[in-house]
Amino acid sequence: MKTNIQSVHAREILDSRGNPTIEVDVILFDGSKGRAAVPSGASTGIHEAVELRDNQSSRYGGKGVATAVKNVNIDIAAAIRDLDALDQTQVDRTLLELDGTANKGKLGANAILGVSLAVARAAADACHMPLYRYLGGATACRLPVPMFNILNGGVHANWQGTDLQEFMIAPVGAPNFAEALRWGTEIYHYLKKVLKEGGYSVGVGDEGGFAPALKRNVDALDLIVKAIEGAGYRPGEDVVLALDPASSGFYEDGLYHLRTENRKVSAAEMVAMYADWVAKYPISLLEDGLAEDDWDGWKLLNRELGNKIELVGDDIFVTNVERIARGIKENVANAVLIKLNQIGTLTETVAAVRMAYAADWGAMVSHRSGETVDSFIADFTVALDTGHLKTGAPCRGERVEKYNQLLRIEESLGESAIFAGRRNVLPRVS
């Protein structure tokens, strides 16, 4: 058949941090082509699928992915050659069977994901369809609220800034995606001015947000509110705030270690701190407020704030349906963060989104802190209609490429485009 896979070829390329990652090219018998590159996290959850690195210190300090490349070019290429690229489920099942482990440790989730995504792109090419249309069907037309991470901390700022990793703004009041992008970008630039005036550094972190060394984490919220107002927007009306503390990164021996503030606090104290912030600032979303295995803490968090804001699980769920199912059963959150490389195939990622929807939970698609210019997640977000996407500040080529792709999608949809706006950032709040 014309849409069967003719060849699969992987290579080692660099990501935005200058670390090696995988890029895969897939060619079908009709000449259709698909290319995909795999991102890489820094504040990775311990339950994520395995990112296979060579651990050979003489190359790239052990971070090479030559083994994963070889796995694609030899074993995977042989296993999926001749499969129909339009049958994504069969392709992904074949990859899972070939790997045979629970965590994709044999072939590497990075090797598997590169192939899975490149096959989808080749199939879309064969159908002469844009990726969002191929993945999402005839009715895919809703653009997400961009969640701009304009102030970076934690490991993304080398622990030189705030303990909390991400302070985001969401222009929920914008009439369309292009305007949301403009609003967010203007606020980002205004924040630079506010920081300069305050005598802070305006160097940027891994995701393009500024990374000032603030004395208290809460100071970031004040600076951002100032920037929103300074840029001419109304906090809480036009633009809301979102946080990803990535708290697994500062959870030690049962306590949360806020280094900048020189204090160690319990889960209950963290929850009280968030509740206080939610009362004082227009915060609509909190991701990873507590650590990846602090299930009791999460239950408390959800009891306190689950009816007020969106509580998104990243490291706790790792886009894995088994962990999401537990989260739904134990009622610990109301949304899931969706990262393709946490689980390793397109099919499993879609299953995670569907599980969230079936429970009336939200789903927020996410980039990784190590990225390439691949914009798969932009199309994926529109296809799966998740209503919001976080892919960094409106700064750094690998971040803006996703936002620019959403501009292109909005343009091509023309009158049919819908902007998710406020409702989709606050799925459970009236």
Residues that bind ligand 2PG (CB under 6 A): 41-44, 166, 207, 244, 246, 314, 366-369
Q: Cβ(298)–Cβ(317) under 8 Å?
A: no
Question: How far, in Å, CA of 116 to CA of 321, rounded?
Answer: 18
Q: Closest distance between Mg ion and the C-beta of residue 404, in Å?
A: 23
Cα separation of the two ends of the chain? 51
| Partner in contact with 399, chosen from Mg ion, ligand 2PG, none, beta carbon below 5 to 8 Å by kind | none
Question: How far, in Å, CA of 200 to CA of 116, rounded?
Answer: 43
Q: Closest distance between ligand 2PG and the C-beta of residue 342, in Å?
A: 9
Question: How far, in Å, CA of 191 to CA of 188, rounded?
Answer: 5
Nearest to Mg ion of 28, 311 (CB atom) = 311
Q: Closest distance between ligand 2PG and the C-beta of residue 246, in Å?
A: 5
Crossing angle of helices 321-330 and 346-358, in 10° steps, is 10
Nearest to ligand 2PG of 119, 356 (CB atom) = 356
| Partner in contact with 35, chosen from ligand 2PG, Mg ion, none, beta carbon below 5 to 8 Å by kind | none
Of 100, 15, 101, 116, nearest to 65 by C-alpha is 15
Active-site residue (options: 48, 51, 207, 410): 207
Give the chain's count of helices (H) and strands (E).
15, 16
Place of tokens 């990803």: 244
Give one DSSP letter per residue of 237-264, joined into a string. TTBEEEEE--GGGGEETTEEEETTTTEE
| Partner in contact with 44, chosen from ligand 2PG, Mg ion, none, beta carbon below 5 to 8 Å by kind | ligand 2PG
Q: Closest distance between Mg ion and the C-beta of residue 248, in Å?
A: 9
Q: Closest distance between ligand 2PG and the C-beta of residue 207, in Å?
A: 6
Residues that bind Mg ion (CB under 5 A): 244, 246, 288, 314
| Partner in contact with 71, chosen from Mg ion, ligand 2PG, none, beta carbon below 5 to 8 Å by kind | none
Nearest to ligand 2PG of 104, 367 (CB atom) = 367
Tell me the residue number closest to ligand 2PG, measured at CB.
Answer: 41
Question: How far, in Å, CA of 80 to CA of 140, rounded?
Answer: 29
Crossing angle of helices 346-358 and 376-384, in 10° steps, is 40
Whether 207 sits among the annotated catalytic residues: the reply is: yes
Nearest to Mg ion of 3, 152 (CB atom) = 152
Place of tokens 């972190």: 205
Nearest to ligand 2PG of 29, 159 (CB atom) = 159
Active-site residue (options: 63, 226, 339, 402): 339
Whether 410 sits among the annotated catalytic residues: the reply is: no
> Could you list the active site residues?
207, 339
